[in-house]
């Protein structure tokens, strides 16, 4: 399995993975809107035998320091539990560190994201429509430069229900 940057020729296969992984088209549409808005800061695919089997996207948030939002991450359902999601998340973190981002925010299941060191306590001081027990942060370069403030996701998220 190979993790690499997503290319325009992957977009249709990425949409297929997102439609298969999520119950409806919202996440597939979100990814396309994020790209159209120029907000796909880091977008990776997992490829195996010439097929796209996973996808992850990180978009910039407006906040008190340089931070990204991880959303969405998806793996083809028949390939769940093989470490593909973990590999995409870790590869994204490495790239984000290399690009000197300070932090990543994610809205998700703490039982999953804690294994990548995301922490709800670290996000608890920030104002966001997503604030709550499922809103987590990961500090990429030591302590966060601030522990409170407004965190605003990219415009495309406003279109989500
Ligand atoms: C979440 C997702 C990307 C994980 O991908 P994956 O390749 O199956 O993940 P990995 O193989 O790296 O890790 C599997 C582990 O994560 C756990 N896991 C997966 N989803 C979980 C969840 N929602 N809550 C808690 N644990 C979860 C599995 O139980 C498994 O645990 P184990 O290692 O103890 O057996 C994949 O399940 C998926 O595409 N889900 C549908 C889309 C989605 O919900 N995306 C996340 C929100 S944006």
CATH number of the domain within which 131 lies: 3.40.630.30
pTM: 0.97
pLDDT at residue 15 tops 90: yes
On the CB side of 11, how many CA atoms lie within 13 Å of its CA?
11
Q: Residue for token digits 């990548």?
A: 116
Instruction: For residues 2 and 137, give the distance between their C-alpha atoms in angstroms, rounded to a whole number.
Output: 27
How many separate domains does the chain show? 1
Domain that holds residue 75: 2-159
Alpha-carbon distances of 57 from 45, 127, 145, 148, 149, rounded to whole Å: 9, 22, 23, 24, 24
Over residues 150-158, mean pLDDT = 97
Q: Is the CB of 21 under 6 A from ligand 1?
A: yes
Q: Is the CB of 74 under 6 A from ligand 1?
A: yes
CA of 106 to the centre of ligand 1 (A): 14
pLDDT in tens, 16-40: 999 999 999 999 999 999 999 999 9
- How high is the pLDDT of residue 161? 67
CA of 74 to the centre of ligand 1 (A): 9
**Atom in ligand 1 nearest the alpha carbon of residue 86:** 12
On the CB side of 86, how many CA atoms lie within 13 Å of its CA?
9
pLDDT in tens, 72-131: 999 999 999 999 999 999 999 999 999 999 999 999 999 999 999 999 999 999 999 999
- How high is the pLDDT of residue 160? 82
């Amino acid at each position: 399995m190979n993790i690499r940057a997503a290319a325009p020729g992957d977009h249709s296969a990425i949409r297929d993975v997102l439609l298969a992984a999520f119950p409806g088209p919202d996440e597939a549409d979100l990814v396309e809107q994020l790209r159209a808005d120029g907000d796909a800061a880091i977008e990776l695919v997992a490829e195996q035998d010439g097929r796209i089997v996973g996808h992850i996207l990180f978009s910039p948030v407006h906040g008190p320091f340089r931070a990204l939002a991880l959303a969405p991450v998806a793996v083809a359902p028949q390939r769940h539990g093989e470490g593909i999601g973990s590999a995409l998340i870790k590869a994204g973190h490495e790239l984000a560190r290399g690009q000197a981002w300070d932090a990543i925010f994610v809205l998700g299941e703490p039982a999953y994201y804690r294994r990548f060191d995301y922490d709800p306590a670290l996000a608890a001081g920030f104002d966001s429509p997503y604030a709550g027990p499922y809103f987590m942060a990961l500090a990429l370069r030591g302590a966060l430069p601030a522990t409170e403030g407004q965190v605003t996701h990219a415009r495309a998220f406003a279109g989500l229900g």
